[in-house]
Structure 1
Amino acid sequence: MFVSKKLLFLPIALLLILTVGCTILLPRQFASNPHLAFGNPSNASNIDPNNYLIEKPQYVLSYNRDKGIPNWVSWELNQSWLGEAPRSNNFRPDDTLPEDWYRVTPNDYTRSGFDKGHMIPSADRSNNPDNNAATFLMTNIIPQAPDNNQGYWARLEDYERTLANEGYELHIISGVYGQKGTIARGKVSIPARIFKIIVATTSERSINDSTKIIAVDTPNINGNRETNWTEFLTSIDAIEKNTGYNFLSNLSPSLQNLVESKVASVIEVKPKSSSHKN
């Protein structure tokens, strides 16, 4: 159970957040990891095996041991993370998990009918080979319906990189909820829904009531590959209701409630030609 946002975060906001008018500026030292600049949605830690915090240089995630997939993955994205590094394509178990836990392997997805779907996509970490390779750890992977993964989800991923190339500083949280079966003899759960939240700022980790925030909530199904991802626009509040998570928890309660209630409009940018690298 999550504690009320106002009760839990008001003292933190008063002590640690610098408020200028309606703008909240989050200093770099506010979060111990830049990929958690706006908060830890589920209060993940190293105590709960099904809400297990894993911090990597390239991203942060909450892992679910019993489901064999991440609950959510959080990362920053700007031009510095993008480049020409080749796609690693080396899917592999994550050896940082506790030794007595089952470590999902690429073979667990063989003939499952599902793609090995990245939460943080390969192309979001294309500035060097090591960073790209980190996205292929199986703790960053979910069973994703091919029409979702290769269709509207891929176009959403291309769009977020277009924003980064336009100079936006992005903070992205992607995750899952619900279940519609398993693969790998019950070791890996198939999520029913896949969501993504994108906070797009023009200055590093600053947010106000006009900050662009995009939230989508998609079904993990086949059959609608050509659907535009904008058909799945929603609000952060709606995703919180469905997941029980508390997003953007490092903001003041008043600003958090304001921006989370909005259903975002798309930021107009000039599309760039690029091949999708999930």
Structure 2
Amino acid sequence: MPLTLRWIPKTILLLCLLLLTSSCTWFRPNQAPTPTAPLGRPRQPRHLLLGNPSKATADAITNGNNYLINRPQYSLSYNNAKRIPNWVSWELNQSWIGDTPRKNTFRPDAELPDNWYKVTPADYTRTGYDRGHMVPSADRDNNPDNQTSTFLMTNIVPQTPDNNRGPWVDLEEYCRDLVAQGKELYITAGTYGRKGTIGRTSQKVTVPASIWKVIVVMNGPRRYPSDVGPRTRVIAVDMPNEPGIKDDDWQKYRVTVDQIEQKTGYDLLRRVKPEVQARIESRVDN
């Protein structure tokens, strides 16, 4: 048999082995596994690890007041009638924290549907209300792109200065203190109620009566819903959007998750086991 015919089968076999080793995870022991969703269930964005509280969807026609926006930096439900977010959810760990200088790049959100009014920074001018962040800029200052995403007006609500610059910012700083200790947080912040409107056109922005936040404190990074147990720390606060509270301690406004769910109609930890939810949602953080 000619020499070329004897080595062809061996060559093909070697090529097949090389293809297998380059495509199979069995030969890559140092590669971290990629989390996958159960069959039949789409993978949730990382910021919605513990659930989509209002079952928001990206359907602008039938669900305009519960319109889902997923970004690399956070996920939110936008209310086109109120022109503020219903809620915003985000993961917070040390990888998101940096030293990017703050730039107040408040701007309309171009990702909203074309026929929707896009709130501008000027809608808040001389109204007596701050442009209050749901996701704080300091929670996303690891690089300029992430930080500037927090200044989109879909992440902003009309907030009294005494709330925004008092107990609310104190709680934001406390969250970052927890992260500095090695904790990973899953945070959802939102609003409910109505105490008027602001705006420079007929397209008004609703001023919420209350602003709330729920913080699930995990003991390390890259966690899963199954890691939330009956002893997991959960901080829930419900603050009035009123003047006169600037010197209040944020701890004064601690409530249960159940209380916030009753006022909003949301299911805030829907991907946590029901028996665990019953325990952690009914107690006040102390």
Same fold (TM over 0.5): yes
Give the residue type in structure 1 aligned to 2:206.
S
Provide the residue aligned with 1:36 in structure 2: 48
Instruction: Identify unmatched segments of 5+ residues in structure 1.
Output: 1-26, 266-278
Provide the residue aligned with 1:66 in structure 2: 81
Instruction: Identify unmatched segments of 5+ residues in structure 2.
Output: 1-33, 38-42
Provide the residue aligned with 2:210 in structure 1: 193
Give the residue type in structure 2 aligned to 1:87.
R
Provide the residue aligned with 1:18 in structure 2: none
Provide the residue aligned with 2:153 in structure 1: 138
Deviations 1:72-121 (A, max 9, x none): 00000000000011112100000000000000000000011000000000
Task: Report how many aligned residue pairs link the two structures.
Answer: 239
Provide the residue aligned with 1:6 in structure 2: none
State the SS of the aligned residue for 1:98: coil
CA distance in 1, matches of 2:247, 2:129: 18
Q: Is the 8 A contact 1:90 1:136 kept in 2?
A: yes
Point out 4+ residue stretches in structure 1 off by more than 4 angstroms: none
State the SS of the aligned residue for 1:256: helix
Per the TM alignment, residue 174 of structure 1 is displaced from its structure 2 partner at its CA by 0.2
Higher share in strand: 1
Give the residue type in structure 2 aligned to 1:226.
D
Q: How does 1:55-204 map to 2 (within 5 A)?
A: 55-184=70-199, 185=202, 187-203=204-220, 204=223
State the SS of the aligned residue for 2:91: strand
Per the TM alignment, residue 186 of structure 1 is displaced from its structure 2 partner at its CA by 5.1
Residue of structure 2 aligned with 1:234, choices 255, 258, 262 = 255
Deviations 1:135-163 (A, max 9, x none): 00000000000000000101000000000
Report % sequence identity.
53
Q: Greater Rg, structure 1 or structure 2?
A: 2
Structure having greater relative contact order (Cα 8 Å, sep ≥ 6): 1
Q: How does 1:200-239 map to 2 (within 5 A)?
A: 200-203=217-220, 204-205=223-224, 206-239=227-260
Q: Is the 8 A contact 1:28 1:34 kept in 2?
A: no
Per the TM alignment, residue 59 of structure 1 is displaced from its structure 2 partner at its CA by 0.1
TM-score computed with the length of structure 2 as normaliser: 0.82
Per the TM alignment, residue 57 of structure 1 is displaced from its structure 2 partner at its CA by 0.3
CA distance in 2, matches of 1:166, 1:200: 11
Per the TM alignment, residue 28 of structure 1 is displaced from its structure 2 partner at its CA by 3.7
Deviations 1:34-86 (A, max 9, x none): 00000000000022000000000000000000111000000000000000111
CA distance in 1, matches of 2:166, 2:123: 23
CA distance in 1, matches of 2:240, 2:119: 23
CA distance in 1, matches of 2:189, 2:282: 18
Give the residue type in structure 2 aligned to 1:42.
S
State the SS of the aligned residue for 2:165: helix
C-alpha change, 1:197 and 1:28, in structure 2 (3 Å) is farther
Deviations 1:220-249 (A, max 9, x none): 011120000000000000000000000110
* Range 63-72 or range 253-262, more displaced: 253-262
> What's the RMSD between the two structures over aligned residues?
1.1
